[in-house]
Amino acid sequence: NKLGDLGNWLATLTNVEWFRTIGESVTIVTGFIFIICVLAFRRGIVGELVALGKRAR
């Protein structure tokens, strides 16, 4: 439901009607977000935070 609300908001903000269909394809959007997270956080979220802490020292 929140993805649909976000899509409607983005459609009114940008005048791109494609954003209104985000609510209808929640599974695809959720999968896309999951793939991005897996690629971005290969060591997991905690592993990335630990690595970031080690680099800061």
Each residue's pLDDT, cut to its tens digit, for the chain (57 residues) gives 777 788 888 889 998 887 778 777 778 878 888 998 888 888 888 888 888 899 888
Total domains, the chain: 1
Domain span at residue 26 reads 1-56
**Rounded (10°) angle between helices 2-14 and 26-40:** 90
- Which residues are within 8 A (CB) of 16 and not within 5 positions of it... i.e. 6 or more apart? 10
Distance CA 56, CA 8 (A): 40
The pTM of this model reads 0.46
Which is nearest to 23 in space by CA: 42, 43, 1, 40? 1
Tally helices (H) and strands (E) across the chain. Answer: 3, 0
